Structure 1
Amino acid sequence: MNSDTINHMAAAIRAAILAHEADIESLDREIGDGDHYINMKRGCEAIATISAELAPLSAADALNKIGMKLLSTIGGASGPLFASFFMSMGKILKTTETATIQDIALAFESGVQAIMQRGKAQAGEKTMLDVLIPVADTFKQLAGQDKPAKEIATILKTVASEGLESTRNLLATKGRASGLGERAIGHLDAGAKSCEVMIHAVCDQILAKAH
């Protein structure tokens, strides 16, 4: 992984988020506070504006810079959570010269743990973590088994979609949806949808490269 790859993936994520505007906004209107998509879009645009600054940096420094940019750009709860994710990934990758797939899986896991700690949340609470935690666990397991990137990407897409679907019948205990009680049951979580979209975008880039 290098800064070129990070810029490439960021562009793919931005395109995917823009393409799923209607889906994400409708989910957020149902049980959220209505500003989730705006914040996601703002974050993607902010990263796009610093692509030239990221280019000469190491992967670790690029991820840290993305985290700092998101912290100063995105409002609400999303900014600090995503900032923690990228900065924690950067911290792990700082310790390695050439990141292996195992290093990236470890960095991803560290980023997800940072979200858990900052948000004081865990799986089963109808949040983005219902996608991120199973993806992180599966990624680490598959990387540890030396599975090829193409196979990992294919499996992670499925795990992300299953994680999103799992939020439908959960009772929300975090965020604005928690105030709705049982009325939130039957609806997918918007944050989980955004994470599924982003994971699919990255995995699709990996699959396209593998062909």
Structure 2
Amino acid sequence: MSKTMTRLTSEDMKALIGAMQAAIAENAERLTALDQAIGDGDHGINMKRGFDAIAADADAICDKPTPQALSAAGMKLVMSVGGASGPLFGTLFMTLGKSLPEDFECGAFADAFAKAVDAVAARGKSSAGQKTMLDVLYPVSDALAAGKSVGEVAAVAAEAAEATVPMEAKRGRASFLGERSIGHMDPGSCSCSLLVNTIAAWISAKEHAA
């Protein structure tokens, strides 16, 4: 997402983790309300638990190089987030970590992110257009591959999350509702947009401060 940032320091990683944890905590009730409409009603609670677990172990996680830190964060999500979200978000972070070189530039990040999104699709046996987190992740991946700016990527994520509202769910618990799932934003897509926008805001602030 940044053409200039090629290495994240331990302090950078801690700041990013703190920003993501805060964003999830601030929006936990909203995420839960979205999930109550078309799911199990625990998405916000589960996501908060997961990012709280990452933050609690931030010192150990951030002592690792960025790729290994991402993988460790993903494992924390798998172990601490309930339902389908843990394995799916965990797969995203773990595959991103495994696919990144220790020193990376924008193109390498875009390639690694694309592999991570494909891994999420394989894990969830899903695809774009089924009212899942993939409906944000794939547009974000395309935006990264196209070399769009941080602000543009954030806007793509927000628009993609909104675009899930008129969709009928075809995967996950929401799919059992059929047409009744129409008119509600997908909770996983909302979480993805929230995280992308949080990371984008942090990168923008860091670049402006440099």
- TM-score for the superposition, normalised by structure 2: 0.91
In the alignment, what sits opposite 2:4? none
In the alignment, what sits opposite 2:199? 202
Contact 2:95 2:119 in 1 (8 A): yes
Choose the corresponding residue for 1:122, options 98, 123, 127: 127
Stretches of structure 2 lacking an aligned partner (at least 5 in a row): 1-6
In the alignment, what sits opposite 2:3? none
What's the RMSD between the two structures over aligned residues? 1.3
- Cα distance in 2 for residues equivalent to 1:37 and 1:98: 33
In the alignment, what sits opposite 2:33? 26
Query: Is 1:184 aligned to 2:181, yes or no?
Result: yes
| 1:55, distance to aligned residue in structure 2 (A) | 2.6
- Cα distance in 1 for residues equivalent to 2:31 and 2:68: 30
Query: Is 1:173 aligned to 2:178, yes or no?
Result: no
**Are residues 4 and 35 of structure 1, via their aligned partners in 2, closer, same or farther at CA, if it must alter by over 3 Å?**
same
For this pair of structures, how many residues does the alignment match? 201
- Cα distance in 2 for residues equivalent to 1:5 and 1:141: 25
- The alignment partner of 1:41 has SS state of helix
- TM-score for the superposition, normalised by structure 1: 0.91
- Cα distance in 2 for residues equivalent to 1:11 and 1:55: 12
In the alignment, what sits opposite 2:155? 158
In the alignment, what sits opposite 1:108? 113
Identity %: 44
- Cα distance in 2 for residues equivalent to 1:192 and 1:57: 29
In the alignment, what sits opposite 1:73? 80
| 1:97, distance to aligned residue in structure 2 (A) | 3.9
Stretches of structure 1 lacking an aligned partner (at least 5 in a row): none
Show the 5 A alignment for 1:129-140: 129-140=134-145
- Cα distance in 1 for residues equivalent to 2:91 and 2:123: 8
- Cα distance in 2 for residues equivalent to 1:21 and 1:69: 18
- The alignment partner of 2:87 has SS state of helix
Question: For residue 154 of structure 1, what is the amino acid of its counterpart?
Answer: G
- Cα distance in 2 for residues equivalent to 1:58 and 1:19: 28
Choose the corresponding residue for 1:60, options 54, 67, 84: 67
- Cα distance in 2 for residues equivalent to 1:192 and 1:133: 11
> How big is each residue's C-alpha offset from its partner over 1:147-194, in whole Å with a ceiling of 9 and x where there is no partner?
6xxxx1110111011111110111101111100010111111111111
Contact 2:29 2:44 in 1 (8 A): no
- Cα distance in 2 for residues equivalent to 1:65 and 1:86: 8
In the alignment, what sits opposite 1:9? 16
